[in-house]
Amino acid sequence: MNKSPNSRLVYSTEGGRMCPECRQQLSACVCKAKAAPPGDGVVRVSRQTKGRGGKCVTVVKGLALDAAALALLGKQLRTACGSGGTVKDGVLEVQGDHCEMVMNTLEGLGHRPKRA
């Protein structure tokens, strides 16, 4: 396997998907253990349709959580709303217009959400 610094390997038949930053298998990635991003303590919940073919998504920004906690929170929000979604670059996206339900769920979990 080629692990040179100039390699852009993203998949290997030996280990599967590879992390593009640390060049390790995703299961052994050291990038996931980074500290939580700094936030101002205010969680912003908004609704967006731009660039999604007219489809609406609820976007949650400003959460000062690490990747694992953010994924768990995303799962809880998607379950509460009964819809799909994803976590991209520290931003939670829930399919559909669920701003009020997301805000109520976040308040119940101890966050201070604001409608943006």
pLDDT tens string 32-46: 555 455 566 789 999
What is the per-residue pLDDT across 9-21, written as a single tens digit (0 to 9) for each? 666 666 677 777 7
43: enclosing H helix or E strand:
strand 43-48
**What's the predicted TM-score (pTM) here?**
0.66
3-state secondary structure at position 88: strand
What gap in Å lies between CA 49 and CA 40, rounded to an integer? Answer: 25
pLDDT in tens, the chain (116 residues): 555 556 666 666 666 777 777 777 777 777 755 545 556 678 999 999 988 888 999 999 998 888 888 999 999 999 999 999 999 888 999 999 999 999 999 999 888 899 98
Q: Which residue has the tokens 């205010």?
A: 42
What gap in Å lies between CA 23 and CA 97, rounded to an integer? Answer: 38
